[in-house]
Structure 1
């Protein structure tokens, strides 16, 4: 009985390895190519594919003889996507980020050339920053805004800069060259900072949230009083980035962070 169970587990592992070969980069495979890729016995792969095909997990083209994922994955994929609700996925991570950082955590989306707070979890500390849901934030001064600005293509970024970089405080960056350098750094590090640039007495850090198409769909960040925030900048940056990565994975993102 035990040996039979081990055999079944091995067959399941082989089946899963076969299915994982079918990606957007290579959606179709011949039997020979699968054998070379997986270094598995041809007869074994053929039997597994035949079983998968009988249950609509795999289809095979009569003309080319190539295999591809079947209709079952359309249904399964739609089910997964329907569960990928941003606020639902982010809620737990907002709470956790606030608790471990000791600061207010907020979730923002891009809207009409601004970053807008769509969810907030307040800091447990008495002295805290308490932003409101619906608050619109500057793209070049706030940390979530900078995340969205860094997602602009070069032409759109240039157009934004040409419209003027109005300062929110004396610390707001208003130099086109410095903004371009900042955007380049954000794209590389996947982190944006607001060090008293949007409001005199507060600072914040944000990171991008990606979906399964590798698109930036939101930003998560932490915000707090400047004096306290400055002392824990590096630690909070890591916490924010980890939170963004966790949410992104739940949204189907498979890239690196």
Structure 2
């Protein structure tokens, strides 16, 4: 009997967690604990506990400005099919294909989730390099060009919190010095793109540029990735110029007014 009661409790928790996720909508993208407690007929303590669990797994995110919760990107990472309804994915798809066709290298759309860069879409070239990227794949933001572009436009508090956790070496070329990393982000903001070589995987080069929404906020990054023998140093700025152009085109489609 005790075992069945425990199982029923666990199933009830799962059911209520799913009910919380289903409560978010286009009309109500952000909800307070009290809103959820009333609409679902649960106690505030139960809702808070479930939200904390969902937040730990990145299924919900708490806004520091409003203290309300919204859906996290782990919801998208569950399935590549989920991204087909994402506006960035929809608007970027054709542009990524054209970019791959022009540069001959694989292109991605990435977003920042926590301290990681998350891949929402990928268009491969004819001769892709094996870099283990796919829908929903995460990589440390600080050692990827897409991640560094996204980090460059975060608040100083966010960056300092990340640096407090330390920058661990993924390869011997990974930037781990906090001062050097801060200077790197400053350069990225000034030039409008990020460049990474050997930092995540030796022999691999990536270049990324920011994508902005209608408010001007950087919400994603376009990154082009290829082997170092193909993306030689003299190609970096010409490639970056084309990637920036593509990122601006996607930004325009998202309502960004330059």
Q: TM-score, normalised by structure 1?
A: 0.64
Tell me the SS of whatever aligns to 2:179: helix
- Where does residue 171 of structure 1 map in the other structure? 173
For the residues of structure 1 that align with 2:155 and 2:128, how far apart are their CA atoms?
41
- Where does residue 111 of structure 1 map in the other structure? 113
For the residues of structure 1 that align with 2:117 and 2:186, how far apart are their CA atoms?
19
- CA deviation digits over 1:95-142, x for unaligned, max 9? 011111100000001112211111000012366656222111211100
Tell me the SS of whatever aligns to 1:119: strand
Corresponding pairs, count: 173
The 1:155–1:95 alpha-carbon spacing in structure 2 relative to 1, beyond 3 Å, is same
Larger mean CA deviation between 205-214 and 150-159 belongs to 150-159
Q: 186, 204, 207: which is aligned to 1:205? A: 207
- Where does residue 77 of structure 2 map in the other structure? none
User: What stretches of structure 1 of length at least 5 have no aligned partner?
Assistant: 1-82
For the residues of structure 2 that align with 1:234 and 1:190, how far apart are their CA atoms?
11
Q: Per-residue deviation at 1:214? A: 0.5
- Where does residue 153 of structure 2 map in the other structure? 151
Q: Is the 8 A contact 1:122 1:130 kept in 2?
A: no
- The answer to whether residue 250 in structure 2 is matched with residue 247 in structure 1 is yes
- Where does residue 141 of structure 2 map in the other structure? 139
Q: 199, 221, 224: which is aligned to 1:222? A: 224
- Where does residue 72 of structure 1 map in the other structure? none
For the residues of structure 2 that align with 1:127 and 1:141, how far apart are their CA atoms?
18
Tell me the SS of whatever aligns to 2:112: strand
For the residues of structure 1 that align with 2:137 and 2:172, how far apart are their CA atoms?
21
- Where does residue 95 of structure 2 map in the other structure? 93
| Deviating 4+ runs (over 6 angstroms) | none
Q: Is the 8 A contact 2:131 2:201 kept in 1?
A: no
For the residues of structure 2 that align with 1:127 and 1:208, how far apart are their CA atoms?
23
Q: Per-residue deviation at 1:156? A: 1.5
CA RMSD in angstroms, aligned pairs only: 1.7
- Where does residue 233 of structure 1 map in the other structure? 236
Tell me the SS of whatever aligns to 2:120: strand
Tell me the SS of whatever aligns to 2:141: coil
For the residues of structure 2 that align with 1:101 and 1:150, how far apart are their CA atoms?
25
For the residues of structure 2 that align with 1:118 and 1:147, how far apart are their CA atoms?
16
- Where does residue 82 of structure 2 map in the other structure? none
For the residues of structure 1 that align with 2:141 and 2:94, how far apart are their CA atoms?
26
